[in-house]
Chains A and B, each alone.
Chain A
Amino acid sequence: GDKVKQSPSALSLQEGTNSALRCNFSIAATTVQWFLQNPRGSLINLFYLVPGTKENGRLKSTFNSKESYSTLHIRDAQLEDSGTYFCAADTGNTRKLIFGLGTTLQVQP
């Protein structure tokens, strides 16, 4: 968790509201992935990013390699968005993903 720091560690949202999750890197990340771990424990791929921005429905993610951070924006949060969000970085040299400790999101009705 030291090389990839996620914030906040936990978050509670009302349905319909927006939020942003953040990852800061102390390594030279070349690609970033965002995952959602659902209540069953499965890791669902959300985004795979080189530096830049991607959008998918109510989710939008940005990876800024120069400033060593990535963000995940959730718009109009729904109950099914609840779970733990992980970011993971690859430095390119090591060919392995380094994970943050996750942000646990609970969406309330």
Chain B
Amino acid sequence: EAAVTQSPRNKVAVTGGKVTLSCNQTNNHNNMYWYRQDTGHGLRLIHYSYGAGSTEKGDIPDGYKASRPSQENFSLILELATPSQTSVYFCASGLRGGEVFFGKGTRLTVV
């Protein structure tokens, strides 16, 4: 089965600090995604990428940047973390129009 690895799995950050969440996939999938999951909202798409060097805004991109330096790696960057960004973040990968596979998630707490 496709493997998507997220790091760290848990993170506590201070308000105003910079946070980088990392994601690695070894499936040679073109597409990668960052979602956040909050009670009452389900999973919402933050940023996604079609391949190395590309990033696209999802449905809730404000306050987040993304970076896709290679086929395997996709990072989510919070330049100035705020308590409202406390959430569980999921990375995923997939082929265009194909099945999408998720990592185990990163629990981020901004204090």
> Which residues of A approach B to under 8 Å, CB–CB?
1, 30-31, 33, 35, 40-43, 45, 48, 86, 88, 90, 92, 95-102
Q: Which 10 A-B pairs have the closest CB atoms?
A: A48-B99, A43-B102, A99-B43, A101-B42, A99-B42, A42-B104, A41-B105, A96-B45, A95-B96, A97-B100
Q: Please tell me which one of the listed residues B1, B41, B92, B104 contacts residue A101 in the complex, with CB atoms under 8 A apart.
A: B41
**B50 proximal to A (CB < 8 A):** yes
Smallest Cβ distance from A86 to chain B, in angstroms? Answer: 7
Q: How large is the interface on B (under 10, 10 to 19, 20 to 34, 35 or more residues)?
A: 20 to 34
- In angstroms, Cα B41 to Cα A101, docked, is 6
Interface centre among B43, B50, B104, B105 (most CB of A within 10 A): B43
Instruction: Convert B30-62 into 0s and 1s, putting 1 for each residue whose CB lies closer than 8 angstroms to a CB of A.
Output: 010101000011111100101000000010000
- In angstroms, Cα B40 to Cα A42, docked, is 18
- In angstroms, Cα B10 to Cα A40, docked, is 13
- In angstroms, Cα B43 to Cα A43, docked, is 11
- Tell me the total A-B contact number using a CB cutoff of 8 A: 51
Q: A41-B104, A99-B42, A101-B41 are in contact. Are A30 and B99 (CB under 8 A)?
A: no
- In angstroms, Cα B53 to Cα A36, docked, is 32
Q: Please tell me which one of the listed residues B31, B90, B97, B105 contacts residue A92 in the complex, with CB atoms under 8 A apart.
A: B97
- Which residues in window 79-104 of B have CB below 8 A to A? 88, 90, 92, 96-102, 104
Q: Are the C-beta atoms of A90 and B97 separated by less than 8 Å?
A: yes
Smallest Cβ distance from A62 to chain B, in angstroms? Answer: 17
Q: Please tell me which one of the listed residues A31, A86, A100 contacts residue B97 in the complex, with CB atoms under 8 A apart.
A: A31
Q: A95-B31, A96-B58 are in contact. Are A45 and B97 (CB under 8 A)?
A: no
Contacts of B31 in A (CB 8 A): 95
Contacts of B97 in A (CB 8 A): 30-31, 90, 92, 95
Q: Are the C-beta atoms of A96 and B48 separated by less than 8 Å?
A: yes
Q: A43-B90, A48-B99 are in contact. Are A95 and B105 (CB under 8 A)?
A: no
Interface centre among A31, A45, A97 (most CB of B within 10 A): A97
